[in-house]
Structure 1
Amino acid sequence: MDSERDELLHTFVAEAHEILDEIERALLQLETGRDVYDVLQRVFRATHTLKGSAGSVGLGGLSDLGHAAEDVIEALCRGDLPLTTPVVSLLLETVDAARRLVAEVERGQVERSTSHQEVIARLQEARRGGPAEPQGAWATSARRATEDDAEGATSIKSIRVAVEKLDRMADLIGELTLGRNRIVRTLRAVRGEAGAALRDEMEEQDRLCRELEEAVRAARMVPVGPWFRHYERTVRDLAHAHGRLARLVVVHGDVEVDTAVVERFRDALTHLLRNAICHGIEAPEARRAAGKDPCGTITLHAAHERGGIALRISDDGAGMRRERIAARVRALGRHPAPDALPDHELFGLVFEPGFSTATESSHLAGRGMGMDVVRRRVESIQGTIRIESREGHGTSLLIQLPLTLATIEGLSVGIGDERYVIPLRAVLACCDLPRGSLAHGGAQGLMVRRGRALPCVRLRALFGLGGSPPPDERVVIVALDGFEAGLVVDSLDGEGRTVVKPLGQLFRRVPGISGSTILGDGSVAMILDVDALLGGVVRDAVPADALDERRSAPSAAGGSPG
Structure 2
Amino acid sequence: MDRERDELLHTFMAEAHEILDEIERALLQLETGPDVHDVLQRVFRATHTLKGSAGSVGLGGLSDLGHAAEDIIEALCRGDLPLTTPVVSLLLETVDAARRLVAEIERGQVERSASHEEVIARLQEARRRGPEALQGAWATGARRATEDDAEGATTLKSIRVAVEKLDRMADLIGELTLGRNRLARTLRAVRGEAGAALRDQMEEQDRLCRELEEAVRAARMVPVGPWFRHYERTVRDLAHAQGRLARLVVLHGDVEVDTAVVERFRDALTHLLRNAICHGIEAPEARRAAGKDPCGTITLHAAHERGGIALRISDDGAGMSRERIAARVRALGRHPAPDALPDHELFSLVFEPGFSTAAESSHLAGRGMGMDVVRRSVESIQGTIRIESREGHGTSLLVQLPLTLATIEGLSVGIGDERYVVPLRAVLACCDLPRGSLAHGGAQGLMLRSGRALPCVRLRALFGLGGAPPPEERVVIVAHGGSEAGLVVDALDGEGRTVVKPLGQLFRRVPGISGSTILGDGSVAMILDVDALLGGVLRDVGQADALDERRAAPSAAGGAPA
Normalised by the length of structure 1, the TM-score is 0.69
Q: Which moved more, 1:128-137 or 1:19-28?
A: 128-137
Q: Do the aligned partners of residues 350 and 82 (structure 1) sit closer, same or farther apart at CA in structure 2, a change above 3 Å counting?
A: farther
Q: Which moved more, 1:251-260 or 1:23-32?
A: 23-32
Q: Do the aligned partners of residues 551 and 170 (structure 1) sit closer, same or farther apart at CA in structure 2, a change above 3 Å counting?
A: farther
Q: Do the aligned partners of residues 289 and 368 (structure 1) sit closer, same or farther apart at CA in structure 2, a change above 3 Å counting?
A: same
CA distance in 1, matches of 2:184, 2:91: 65
CA distance in 1, matches of 2:443, 2:428: 21
Q: Which moved more, 1:16-25 or 1:463-472?
A: 16-25
Q: Which moved more, 1:430-439 or 1:358-367?
A: 430-439
CA contact (8 A) 1:428 1:558 kept: no
RMSD: 14.2
CA contact (8 A) 2:416 2:490 kept: yes
Q: Identity over the aligned pairs, expressed in percent?
A: 93
Q: Deviations over 1:438-462 (max 9, x none)?
A: 4544444443334444443332333
- 1:164 is aligned to 164
**SS where residue 471 of structure 1 aligns?**
coil
Q: Deviations over 1:74-110 (max 9, x none)?
A: 9999999999999999999999999999999999999
Residue 299 of structure 1: how far off its partner (Å): 0.8
Q: Which moved more, 1:37-46 or 1:12-21?
A: 37-46
CA distance in 2, matches of 1:338, 1:79: 71
Q: Deviations over 1:303-344 (max 9, x none)?
A: 111221111111122222333333333333333443333333
- Higher alpha-carbon Rg: 2
CA distance in 1, matches of 2:297, 2:30: 16
Residue 138 of structure 1: how far off its partner (Å): 45
**SS where residue 507 of structure 1 aligns?**
coil
Q: Deviations over 1:147-206 (max 9, x none)?
A: 999999999999933333333333323332343344445556766665544433222222
Residue 211 of structure 1: how far off its partner (Å): 1.4
CA contact (8 A) 1:81 1:129 kept: no
Q: Which moved more, 1:162-171 or 1:57-66?
A: 57-66
Q: Do the aligned partners of residues 2 and 231 (structure 1) sit closer, same or farther apart at CA in structure 2, a change above 3 Å counting?
A: closer
Q: Which moved more, 1:70-79 or 1:378-387?
A: 70-79
CA distance in 1, matches of 2:28, 2:94: 13
CA contact (8 A) 1:426 1:530 kept: yes
CA contact (8 A) 2:235 2:246 kept: yes
CA contact (8 A) 1:309 1:400 kept: yes
Q: Do the aligned partners of residues 96 and 276 (structure 1) sit closer, same or farther apart at CA in structure 2, a change above 3 Å counting?
A: farther
CA distance in 2, matches of 1:265, 1:339: 32
Q: Which moved more, 1:526-535 or 1:104-113?
A: 104-113
Residue 254 of structure 1: how far off its partner (Å): 0.5
Name stretches of at least 5 consecutive residues in structure 2 with no aligned partner: none
Q: Which moved more, 1:163-172 or 1:149-158?
A: 149-158
CA contact (8 A) 2:473 2:491 kept: yes
Q: Which moved more, 1:287-296 or 1:336-345?
A: 336-345
Q: Deviations over 1:484-541 (max 9, x none)?
A: 4322222112222212111223332333221112334544322112112211345579
Q: Which moved more, 1:422-431 or 1:76-85?
A: 76-85
Residue 425 of structure 1: how far off its partner (Å): 2.3
- 1:516 is aligned to 516
- 2:237 is aligned to 237
Q: Which moved more, 1:393-402 or 1:433-442?
A: 433-442
Q: Deviations over 1:100-134 (max 9, x none)?
A: 99999999999999999999999999999999999
Name stretches of at least 5 consecutive residues in structure 1 with no aligned partner: none
Q: Do the aligned partners of residues 402 and 170 (structure 1) sit closer, same or farther apart at CA in structure 2, a change above 3 Å counting?
A: same
Q: Do the aligned partners of residues 106 and 362 (structure 1) sit closer, same or farther apart at CA in structure 2, a change above 3 Å counting?
A: farther
Q: Do the aligned partners of residues 419 and 70 (structure 1) sit closer, same or farther apart at CA in structure 2, a change above 3 Å counting?
A: same
Q: Do the aligned partners of residues 40 and 93 (structure 1) sit closer, same or farther apart at CA in structure 2, a change above 3 Å counting?
A: same
The number of residue pairs the alignment matches comes to: 562
CA distance in 1, matches of 2:26, 2:499: 42
**SS where residue 100 of structure 1 aligns?**
helix
CA distance in 2, matches of 1:405, 1:216: 13
CA contact (8 A) 1:438 1:444 kept: yes
Residue 250 of structure 1: how far off its partner (Å): 0.5
